[in-house]
Amino acid sequence: MKNINFVGPRYIFISISLAMIALSIIFIFVRGFNLGVDFSGGTSMSVSFNNLKMTPSEVRGIFSEADPIFKNASISQLHNLVTSGTHVKRSLFSLTVGQFFSPNQKDKFEATVQEIAKKRGENVHFESFQTVSGYAAAGLRQSAMWASIVAGIALLIYMAFRFQFVFGVGALASLIHDLVITAGLYSIFWITFNSTVVASLLTLLGYSLNDTVVVYSRIRENLKRMRGKPMDEIVNVSINQTLSRTINTSFTTFIVVFVLYLFSGPVLRPFAFGMSFGVITGTYSSIYIASPILIGWLEKRRRKVALRR
């Protein structure tokens, strides 16, 4: 069977990863996240027009006439909306502003928009509407934070039970690696960061841990079977033995989430973005980071055990 040398150039890969992590941290702290309305408070709506040639700037024109806050709204055109059963197509836009709309404000606003659109010869429908007050956003941020903390602690406890200390540290390092880099990508590419993204990141933690668990349990097995062989060889053989599993699993998962990223609507796209790139970093880290960084520690431990004998 082919035997690829993964652990030889490990310092190069560890350096690349450290650089990626540093870049991500800089982006996260300097630029921050493009928070979704559920985290930042505000209103996001999707509206459709019967005019398929409608442009975002025309939409902005209509909406900012109704409420000047829409001058700074983020507006993007989505796929055309087709009513099921008919073949009537409507152009679809998503608009986001940082202001909360009370029921009364919403009623008035919608009526005004309808009126202005009518004057301009356009027919507008409000397809979806989400408005979040600062109070609710703070609550959601808090529960997202708690979810992350509890999931993190639960996974740590699991790892403590499942691995010896050295392996636990390695698994933790690769978890942090995947989490920070994926979160950094959200900041770098300015992808909406909302509560589904938190779900995506937490699921990713589980996935990344999967990959690591599979390689680690093979290393443990091989530590017994290949006693006396150099540590980097044991680790490298283990990575190679699990390689087709790692690649197959990651590739198939990547296929489904990437298809989801490409074709699903705006709601699931931020989620699928994290899953797609998270699977890539997770695979990379379980091959090039999680196991190679163990070599030094495992060797040290082996020397200690040998001395004691």
Partner 1 sequence: MRTDRIRLIFVLLVLFVSVIFMLYPPAPSAKGFLGHLFGNIRLGLDIKGGSRLDYVMVGKKPTPELTGQVVTVLRRRLDDANFTEAIVSAVGNDGIRVEIPGIDNPKKAEKLIGQKAQLYFAQVLDEVRSSVKPAPKIGLSYAGAQWLQSKNSTDVWYLVNKYIQVGAGRLQLSGNYVSNARAAVDTQRGGWKINLTFNPKGASIFFQITQALIGKQLAIVMDNYVLSAPVVQTAIQGGSAEITGNFTYNQAQDLAALIRSGNLPVSLKLTEEQTMGPTLGADVIRRSLIVGLIGILLVMVYMLIYYLGAMGVVAVIALFYNAFFVFGMLALTHGILTLPGIAGIILTVGTTVDGNVIIFERVKEEMRTGKTMRASIAAGFDKSVAVILDANITTLITAFVLYYFGTGSIKGFAVTLTIGIVGTIFTSLVVSRYILDLMAPLIKNKYATISEQPASIKGGRSR
The footprint of partner 1 on residues 48-87 (CB under 8 A) is 48, 81-84
| Binding region for partner 1 (CB under 8 A) out of 7-15, 59-67, 132-140, 181-189 | 132-140
> Binding of partner 1 at residue 136 (CB under 8 A)?
yes
| In the complex, minimum distance from the CB of residue 196 to partner 1, in angstroms, rounded to a whole number | 5
Phi, psi angles (nearest 5°) of residue 95: -125, 140
Name which of 22 and 153 has its Cβ closer to partner 1: 153
Q: Which of 15, 76, 143, 164 binds partner 1 (CB under 8 A)?
A: 143
Q: Is 249 exposed, middle or buried (0-12, 13-18, 19+ CB in 10 A)?
A: middle
Cα dist. 23→35, 165, 181, 232, 266 in Å? 20, 29, 8, 29, 27
> Binding of partner 1 at residue 114 (CB under 8 A)?
no
Q: Which two tokens stand for residue 103?
A: 């029921």
Q: Which two tokens stand for residue 241?
A: 């033995």
- Per DSSP bridges, beta strands 74-77 and 42-49 are unpaired
| Binding region for partner 1 (CB under 8 A) out of 4-12, 114-122, 140-148, 180-188 | 140-148
> Binding of partner 1 at residue 160 (CB under 8 A)?
no
What does the per-residue mask of binding to partner 1 show for 208-237, with x meaning CB under 8 A?
-xx--xx--x---x---xx-----------
Phi, psi angles (nearest 5°) of residue 9: -85, 35
What does the per-residue mask of binding to partner 1 show for 235-254, with x meaning CB under 8 A?
------xx-xx--xx-xxx-
> Binding of partner 1 at residue 144 (CB under 8 A)?
yes
Query: Whole-angstrom Cα distance, residue 236 to residue 128?
Result: 53
Q: Which two tokens stand for residue 154?
A: 């639960």
Name which of 84 and 304 has its Cβ closer to partner 1: 84
Contact call for residues 127 and 92 (beta carbons, < 8 A): yes
Query: Whole-angstrom Cα distance, residue 139 to residue 88?
Result: 40
Name which of 23 and 78 has its Cβ closer to partner 1: 78
> Binding of partner 1 at residue 99 (CB under 8 A)?
no
Q: Which of 147, 169, 188, 280 binds partner 1 (CB under 8 A)?
A: 147
